[in-house]
Amino acid sequence: MKGLLRILLVFSLVWIIARSAVFLLPGDPAEFLVHESLVQLDTPELREKMDLDRPALERIFSLPRNRSLIRNEKASQLLIRAWSRTLVLAALALLIALPATFIFLFLRFQGGLRGRFSEASTLILASVPLLIAGPILLRYVPLSNPLLPALTLSLYLVPFWSRTLSRKLDARLPMSSVEGSRALGFPELNIFTRDLIAPALGGFLAFFGSQLGYLLNGSILVETAFQWNGVGSLLGEAVLSRDFPVIEMTLITSALNTLITQQVGYALQTWWDPRIT
């Protein structure tokens, strides 16, 4: 019940902000679009299409127009097409990031030189912003779309996932049965998976849900840098061209997607470890 109330509250706030943004910008948005020759309409017709002649409250609490002002398409069609491409990118990024995170954690678990290598690598990767990592990979890594942008996204995810889980593993290590399992001669990989990762994974799943929402909402920097026409690049283009119906629908659906994936993460956490509330 609390999760549902949280979704309704946050979604309502995002809806109000998205639908009222047109009134917060300086000047007349319709005159700007006509003056910049971004639309082939006169100002009165454009104001009617943007609901600018309606009272502010009436516009805010009404449904967005489902027609792009710049492109001759429905905003929902643009968004569905962008979502499908972003979904491909997110799936590839997860396929790279999840095993890479497991490898870094296992190296850290082994300690010694391997553990120090894992610590240093994740620290360096976490310090490199996407704005820098994207162009570097684009120049020096011979991979094509969508593998290269997916690799870029995974380089953002892996260090944060690894360091988040590392802290959980460090807290669980003193009370785990690792030393006993080692004394019995079990393989290190089995000990790591069974005695550390499996018990600590429940607390990580809620965080994973929020990260999944980030992936599914697209990255403006990555999708623009690699010319991948997903949700992030669609929102960036819509903002630059002041395509308000597309901006509103993208923000509203992205907020709903983020809230839903967070609740999915909480549900997975409870399913994996019912002791966590």
Write out pLDDT tens, residues 239-249.
888 888 888 88
Out of 124-128, 178-182, 243-247, least confident range: 178-182
Q: What is the pLDDT of residue 83?
A: 92
- Widest CA span in the chain: 81
pLDDT(205) > 90: no
> Mean pLDDT over residues 170-177, rounded?
74
* pLDDT band per the 50, 70, 90 thresholds, residue 258: confident
| Per-residue pLDDT, 276 | 62
Q: Out of 8-17, 40-49, 86-95, 128-137, pick the least confident.
A: 40-49
pLDDT at 203 over 60: yes
CA 229-232-233 angle, 5° bins: 45
pLDDT value at position 277?
54
Q: Whole-prediction pTM value?
A: 0.84
pLDDT of residue 226: 86
Q: Measuring CA to CA, which residue among 232, 246, 236, 240 is closest to residue 69?
A: 246
User: 220 CB contacts (<8 Å, ≥6 apart)?
Assistant: 232, 233, 235, 236
Counting beta carbons within 10 angstroms of the beta carbon of residue 227, is it exposed (0 to 12), middle (13 to 18) or buried (19 or more)? exposed
Model confidence at 37: pLDDT above 70: no
The pLDDT of residue 130 is: 79
29 and 52 Cβ atoms separated by less than 8 Å: yes
| DSSP secondary structure, 117-148, as one string | HHHHHHHHHHHS-HHHHHHHHHHH----TTHH
Lowest model confidence (mean pLDDT) among 5-9, 81-85, 122-126, 214-218: 5-9
Based on its alpha-carbon atoms, the radius of gyration of the chain, rounded to whole angstroms, reads 23
Distances (CA, A) of 85 to 60, 76, 88, 123, 189: 30, 14, 5, 30, 36
CB 34 within 8 A of CB 18: no
- Report the half-sphere exposure of 91 (CA within 13 A, side-chain side): 6
From 202, 207, 220, 204, select the one nearest 271 (Cα to Cα): 202
Residue 129 has pLDDT above 60, yes or no: yes
Check residue 100 and give its pLDDT: 93
Determine the pLDDT at residue 81.
93
- Domains of the chain in start order, with CATH, are 2-60 (no CATH), 77-272 (1.10.3720.10)
Considering the chain, what percentage of its residues have pLDDT values greater than 70? 96
What's the confidence (pLDDT) of residue 3?
A: 67
pLDDT band (50, 70, 90) for residue 82: very high
CB contact at 8 A, 11 and 28: no
